[in-house]
């Protein structure tokens, strides 16, 4: 061949992860190259750049969809499906690469997506032997990793001498997040526990632990998070963004809602104020997402059938927020989900179908092969990668 090894590496680094996994069989040198951490990081950087712009014809956005299917045996099974969009043909295709968590021998009874970053997806799973655990999965390589048990022990039972029954402190996971620490070139999972005590009425305390993947252990961190209770809700109330994990939360007074952000490098929390025009009325559907390099907030008061789209370019306590779009009126839409491309917004309709809304034509341009009768859609824009859940090259 007239091509140098460097040129071959540059060409291969422009390709998606799936064909590269197949190319490992070409030769020992190619297999070694695709296991090389520098090449993995280079390929991932190229994919992130290409998927974040419509100008790059290599950028084919991929959607990760977690859903339940019924097997031939009548059992429920959790499956990860991928939908790719080809910018050249303007066609959406459901990739033939569904990943069954059960087929990967993942030890779980049910699971919830807690986040994804650079091709790795984090799940909270209920495991009989480990209770609530975290599993990290790279669906492209079908590799997974079960994180160790929590470092925070359950509290001992409390007993009230004046009664015949024990009063128990019982913990539950309030929120979790998964993301990348740029300073130490590692991935972390943050877990927020709430402890509810029945001894003197209902009292609540909060404890936080972090798992660093290179050390493969949990450790508790100090925080004043007790002043900011985390709002219960689906995963659309949270997102990873530029080194932070963000949750939708009520403020200290329980009324003035804020965004609570955890910085993975500093391991510190901060609160982000919402646009001053926001109402606290719970009839609004609010969803956090990411568009390019900006944090996005969807505000959808269903009674008026319009979606306000707010973005924050600078991640700081005071914002600033800018309203960039007002979408609507919308008919038959349950809620917005995520931007697919810069001019396409995915939404869930009242039947459970996922549709694509074109911002230029102001029309539904595509009905995607995603359907969820429970209307608990779990969709994320996803970049497939060669990253191992055991080795983490710098990106």
Q: Are strands 344-349 and 379-382 parallel, antiparallel or unpaired?
A: unpaired
Partners of 135 in beta bridges: 123, 146
Regarding whether 74 and 22 lie in a shared domain, the answer is: no
Residues 21 and 144 in one domain: no
- pLDDT for res 262: 92
Same-domain pairing of 31 and 119: no
Which position has the higher pLDDT, 96 or 320? 320
Q: Domain check: are 93 and 197 in the same one?
A: yes
Q: Which of 263, 291, 319 is the last residue of a domain?
A: 291
Q: Is 70 a domain residue?
A: yes
CA dist 106 and 100 (Å) reads: 9
Q: Which of 251, 276, 291 delimits the end of a domain?
A: 291
Same domain (yes/no): 149, 211: yes
Chosen domain end from 265, 291, 317: 291
Helix axes 28-35, 5-12, angle to 10 degrees: 60
3-state secondary structure 4-33: CHHHHHHHHCCCCHHHHHHHCCCCHHHHHH
Asked if residue 221 and residue 140 are part of one domain, the reply reads: yes
> Structure pTM?
0.82
Q: Domain range spanning residue 85?
A: 64-154+168-291
Residues 35 and 68 both lie in one domain: no
- State how far the Cα of 77 lies from the Cα of 48, in Å rounded to an integer: 30
Q: Does the structure show a pLDDT above 50 at 257?
A: yes
Quick check: is 330 in a domain? no
> What's the rounded Cα separation, in Å, for the pair 181 and 177?
12
Domains identified in the chain, total number: 2
Identify whether residues 15 and 146 lie together within a single domain. no
Determine the pLDDT at residue 82.
74
Q: Does the pLDDT of residue 106 top 70, yes or no? A: no
311-321 mean pLDDT: 72
Give the DSSP letter of residue 199.
B
394 secondary structure, DSSP code: -
Does 150 lie in the same domain as 115?
A: yes
Q: Do 125 and 30 fall into the same domain?
A: no
Is 185 part of a structural domain of the chain? Answer: yes
Which secondary structure element, helix H or strand E, spans residue 355, and what is its range? strand 353-358
| Within-domain flag for 275 | yes
- 12 with 114, same domain: the answer is no
**How far apart (Å, rounded) are the C-alpha atoms in residues 364 and 346?**
9
Half-sphere exposure of 223 (CA within 13 A, CB side): 28
Residue 170 has pLDDT above 60, yes or no: no
In-domain check, residue 260 = yes
pLDDT in tens, 173-228: 778 899 999 999 899 999 988 776 655 555 567 889 999 988 899 999 988 666 66
Q: Is residue 218 part of a domain?
A: yes
Contacts for 323 with CB less than 8 Å, ≥ 6 apart: 275, 308, 309, 310
What percent of the chain shows pLDDT beyond 90? 12
| Within-domain flag for 304 | no
For 321-344, the pLDDT digits (tens) are 889 889 888 888 888 888 877 788
- For residues 83 and 200, membership in a common domain is answered with yes
What is the maximum span of the chain, computed from C-alpha positions, in angstroms?
87
């Amino acid at each position: 061949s007239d091509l140098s090894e460097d040129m071959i590496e540059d060409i291969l680094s422009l390709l998606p992860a799936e064909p590269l996994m197949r190319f490992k069989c070409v030769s020992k040198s190619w297999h070694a190259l695709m296991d090389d951490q520098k090449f993995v990081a280079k390929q991932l950087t190229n994919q992130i750049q290409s998927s974040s712009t419509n100008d790059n014809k290599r950028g084919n956005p991929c959607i990760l969809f977690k859903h339940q299917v019924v097997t031939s045996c009548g059992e429920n099974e959790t499956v990860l499906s991928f939908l790719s969009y080809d910018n050249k043909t303007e066609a959406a295709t459901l990739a033939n690469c569904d990943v069954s968590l059960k087929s990967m021998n993942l030890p779980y009874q049910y699971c919830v997506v807690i986040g994804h970053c650079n091709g790795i997806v984090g799940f909270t799973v209920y495991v009989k032997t480990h209770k609530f655990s975290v599993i990290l999965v790279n669906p492209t390589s079908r590799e997974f990793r079960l994180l160790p048990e929590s470092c925070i022990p359950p509290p001992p039972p409390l007993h009230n001498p004046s009664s015949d029954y024990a009063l128990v402190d019982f913990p539950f996971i309030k929120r979790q997040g998964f993301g990348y620490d740029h300073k130490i070139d590692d991935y972390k999972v943050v877990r927020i526990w709430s402890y509810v005590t029945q001894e003197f009425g209902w009292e609540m305390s909060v404890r936080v632990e972090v798992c660093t993947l290179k050390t493969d252990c949990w450790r508790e961190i100090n925080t004043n998070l007790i002043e900011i209770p985390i709002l219960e809700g689906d995963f659309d109330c949270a997102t990873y963004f530029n080194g932070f994990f963000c949750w939708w939360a009520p403020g200290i007074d329980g009324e003035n809602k804020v965004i609570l952000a955890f910085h993975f490098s500093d391991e510190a929390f901060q609160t982000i104020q919402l646009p001053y025009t926001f109402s606290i009325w719970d009839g609004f559907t609010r969803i956090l997402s990411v568009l390019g390099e900006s944090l996005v907030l969807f505000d959808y008061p269903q009674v008026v059938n319009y979606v306000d789209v707010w973005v924050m370019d600078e991640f700081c306590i005071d914002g600033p927020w800018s309203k960039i779009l007002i979408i609507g009126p919308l008919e038959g839409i349950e809620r917005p989900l995520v931007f697919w491309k810069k001019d396409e917004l995915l939404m869930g309709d009242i039947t459970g179908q996922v549709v694509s809304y074109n911002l230029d034509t102001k029309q539904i341009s595509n009905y995607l092969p995603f359907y969820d009768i429970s209307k608990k859609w779990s969709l994320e824009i996803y970049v497939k990668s060669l990253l191992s859940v055991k080795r983490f090259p710098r990106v």
